[in-house]
Amino acid sequence: MTDEAGHEPQPDPREEKFVVDVGLLSEDQLDGLVDEYCTRYHGLNDTENPMVERERVKSAVRQRDLVVWFDPVENTASLGVPR
């Protein structure tokens, strides 16, 4: 009888998403993330102009209600809630 639970592969910490300090991003990079967030969450739900949420989203980033997550596996960044 073997203990298979002890042989399960552990996740590679280099593949885990992590939070990026907003201060490391240029204003253009942050604007792009905000625009993507607005269209992703508001652009498909019959909102006539999803970009009206832009300033509210930027404010949420400044207040750390939203953070920048980087996914090293996909090599992408996006806004999301902190853990």
Query: What pLDDT is recorded for position 17?
Result: 95
Query: What pLDDT is recorded for position 44?
Result: 54
Burial code (b: 16+ CB inside 10 Å, e: under 16) for 35-51 equals eebbeeebbeeeeeebe
List of the chain residues with pLDDT < 50: none
Helix (H) / strand (E) element for 71: namely strand 67-71
Query: What pLDDT is recorded for position 4?
Result: 58
Query: What pLDDT is recorded for position 6?
Result: 63
Query: What pLDDT is recorded for position 43?
Result: 55
